[in-house]
Amino acid sequence: MAEIDDVQQHPSDTEQATRVWSACLEIIRESVNTQSFKTWFEPIVPLHLRSGTLTVQVPSQFFYDWLEEHYYMVINTTITNVLGKGAALEYFVRTDELQMDTEYHVMLPTPTRPERRSYPPQPESFTSTGAHALHRSTETRGESFQSFLNPRYTFDNFIKGDSNQLARAAASAVANNPGGTSFNPLVIYGGTGLGKTHLMQAIGNYAIAHGKAKRVIYVSSEKFTVEFVDAIQSDRISDFSSFYRSMDILIVDDIQFFSGKEKTQDNFFHTFNELHQIGKQLVLSSDRPPKELKGLDDRLLSRFQWGLTSDIQPPDLETRIAILRKKSEDDGIDLPRDVVEFIAANVTSNIRELEGCLISLLARSSLEGREITVELARDVLKVVVGDVKSPITIETIQRTVCDYFNIPEDLIRAKTRKQEIVNARQVAMYLAKELTNSSLKTIGLHFGGRDHSTVIHAYQSVEDQMRLDQKYQANVSQIKRRLQLLGHV
Ligand code: ADP
Ligand code: MG
């Protein structure tokens, strides 16, 4: 067992540890969601690095247990990637504030990592800009290089839903036959936290695992830019270009950051052309439809029409529920049904946030020794999405009803007489009358300025149908229940 003094006597060890750990954090940040990253990785303090063993300090035994249980693979993979095979991570657990009592745990990385993901243990590999990849390409072309694929992202654990169906199908086709489909480039676009990075990396992981491609690299457009600038400064632009142009699959994430960076775009444009010409696969993502990308070269944008552009939409309720189920199962936790529905009903914007809530919930439950109930979930969500107990509004009802029937929300206020919309509109009016104190006139106004008699008609029509049709009645009660779960009623 080492002493704390030991640590302080080797400042250079500490410096190295800090560099190595920040390189690790770069990778970990991509592998876990923001919330987990903040909760579980930011508090870790690197202490020293000695003969391939990185020692870090964690705040408590609980913290250590949590990391071991939930992030063992991520940490192992990262440490091996950054320090090479045979590296080890040692935890220093602070057992009390005064550091009177210390403890060490040694964690050894998994011995057999696929060659392609091994990271050269040379000191220059500690830069976070990925200059090592460049370095490797000049020296050991054809040999292993860092693909920056996170093994966590696979097709198997990507939940299908209406919102991502096309993108997923296209991704799968591309992974099975890189460069050989008409989906080249494959461009995936959509808001943040909806699964673009996951899907793109799944292509790479799948293609490698199934022998469909050998040289695959995942790079964000920012990193590509930084490396490009580095390459110019160090006069290694041809190394840089030939490295990226040697790929079977080039995956570039978040190309919106290429905006306005003309020189980088120019280089990327030529890389794109060269790869495309020899039948190599390009996979790109963006946070908006390509035609809305300002500051991107038209030449480049026109290339996207050679392939397929597909969006990913925010997940609908069913998909959100399926994701929560899957993620909690993966964590070995049996989440009660009402808790799943409660979270899924409240956290609607993206999947990263959904994961964040789940993690907070598990952390709170284990920290406070509380059972996982809707009550606890409500407490957690108060922090994450604000107070969920606000009084019910007509907007909330509209949103919930539209979500339930899976129809676009604006249509409920529009003129359309399509049967399914009329049905949803009537249910929403009924619930607005039932659950809020709004007058018929006010309710009518919220539905595209309809007359109060329309609201009365809707109300009666829903009541009649509920009496006659059990399934209809069940639907309405389900929506009511959901509103109750929202904490609004
Ligand atoms: P984006 O790149 O679009 O911002 P990410 O790919 O980083 O989003 O996804 C955010 C988080 O949500 C990741 O942890 C990812 O694994 C998870 N995720 C996204 N979509 C799905 C899905 N369909 N099934 C399972 N997990 C998903
Ligand atoms: Mg992303």
pLDDT in tens, 362-385: 888 887 888 999 999 988 888 766
Which residue among 71, 198, 220 is best mutated to probe the pocket of ligand 1, counting the most ligand atoms within 8 A of its Cβ?
Answer: 198
Give residues with Cβ within 8 angstroms of 202, minimum separation 6.
153, 154, 155, 158, 171, 175
Tokens of 354: 């959904």
Q: Contact, 326 vs 198, CB < 8 A?
A: no
21-45 tens-digit pLDDT: 988 898 888 888 777 788 889 889 8
What average pLDDT does the segment 95-109 reach?
Answer: 40
Q: Which atom of ligand 1 is nearest to the CA of 190?
A: 3
The more confident residue out of 386 and 447 is 447
Q: Is the pLDDT of residue 177 over 90?
A: yes
Element holding 251 (H helix, E strand): strand 249-253
- How large a percentage of the chain has pLDDT more than 70? 84
Residue keyed to tokens 């597909």: 310
Q: Is the pLDDT score of 449 beyond 90?
A: yes
Collapsing DSSP to helix, strand or coil, 311 comes out as: strand
Q: For the domain 2-105, what is the CATH code?
A: 3.30.300.180
Output the residue whose Cα is nearest ligand 1's atom 25. 158
pLDDT score of 127: 26
Nearest to 114 by CA among 139, 80, 141, 140: 80
Q: By mean pLDDT, which of 6-10, 56-60, 191-195, 380-384 is the weakest?
A: 6-10
Average pLDDT over residues 199-225: 96
328 pocket-lining for ligand 1 (C-beta < 6 Å): no
> Does the Cβ of 355 fall within 6 Å of ligand 1?
yes
What class has domain 394-485? Answer: mainly alpha
What distance, in Å, lies between the first and last C-alpha atoms of the chain?
Answer: 57
For the residues 44-71, what does the mean pLDDT come to?
A: 82
pLDDT of res. 396: 87
Please give the number of the atom of ligand 1 that sits closest to the Cα of 198.
6
Cα of 459 from ligand 2 centre, angstroms: 45
Domain residue extents for the chain: 2-105, 137-312, 317-385, 394-485
Amino acid sitting at position 70: H
Tell me the best of 157, 196, 351, 358 to mutate to test the pocket of ligand 1, counting ligand atoms within 8 Å of each CB and taking the most.
351
**Selected residue with higher pLDDT from 461 and 348:** 461
Closest residue CA from atom 18 of ligand 1:
195
Cα 264 vs. chain centroid, distance in angstroms?
A: 26
CATH fit for domain 137-312, picks 3.40.50.300, 3.40.630.30, 2.60.120.620, 1.10.10.10? 3.40.50.300
> Residue 101 — pLDDT band, cuts 50, 70, 90?
very low
Sign of the Cα torsion 251, 253, 256, 259 reads negative
User: Is 168 near ligand 1, meaning CB less than 6 Å away?
Assistant: no
The confidence score (pLDDT) of residue 250 equals 98
What's the confidence (pLDDT) of residue 94? Answer: 65
pLDDT (0 to 100) of residue 10: 58
Q: Whose CA is nearest to atom 5 of ligand 1?
A: 195
**Spatial distance between the Cα atoms of 398 and 404, rounded to a whole number of angstroms:** 10
* pLDDT tens-digit readout, 277-297: 999 999 999 999 998 998 899
- Read off the pLDDT of residues 387-403 as tens digits, 9 standing for 90 and up: 554 567 898 899 999 98
Number of C-beta neighbours around residue 348 at 10 A: 17
Q: Quote the mean pLDDT of the chain.
A: 83
Separation of 271 CA from ligand 2 center, angstroms? Answer: 22
Atom of ligand 1 nearest to the CA of 312: 3
Binned at pLDDT 50, 70 and 90, residue 95 comes out as: low
Q: What is the pLDDT of residue 488?
A: 43
Among the bound ligands, the one closest to the CA of 194: 1
CA 207–ligand 2 middle distance (angstroms): 19
Ranges 11-25, 158-172, 326-340, 345-359: which has the least confidence: 11-25
pLDDT at 267: 96
The pTM of this model reads 0.60
**Residue 188: pLDDT band with limits 50, 70, 90:** very high
More confidently predicted of 469 and 12? 469
Q: Ligand 1 test: best mutation among 27, 160, 194, most atoms within 8 Å of CB?
A: 194
Of the ranges 72-81, 116-125, 283-292, 435-444, which one carries the lowest mean pLDDT score?
116-125
Residue of the nearest CA to atom 11 in ligand 1?
352
What is the pairing mode between strands 53-58 and 88-94?
parallel
The dihedral through the CA atoms of 13, 16, 21, 27 has a sign that is: negative
Q: Hey, what's the torsion of the CAs at 73, 74, 75, 81, to 10 degrees?
A: 100
Is the CB of residue 201 below 6 angstroms from any atom belonging to ligand 1?
A: no
Residue 444, SS3 per DSSP? helix
Ion ligand 2, residues whose Cβ is below 5 A away: 196-197
Residue 418, helix vs strand vs coil = coil
Q: Is 36 in the pocket of ligand 1 (CB under 6 A)?
A: no
- Say yes or no to pLDDT of 116 above 80: no
**Topology of domain 317-385, CATH:** Helicase, Ruva Protein; domain 3 (1.10.8)
CA of 19 to the centre of ligand 1 (A): 28
Closest ligand 1 atom to the C-alpha of 199? 6
Please tell me the distance between residue 191's alpha carbon and the centre of ligand 2 in angstroms: 9
pLDDT at 137 over 50: no
- Residue 164 CB less than 6 A away from ligand 1: yes
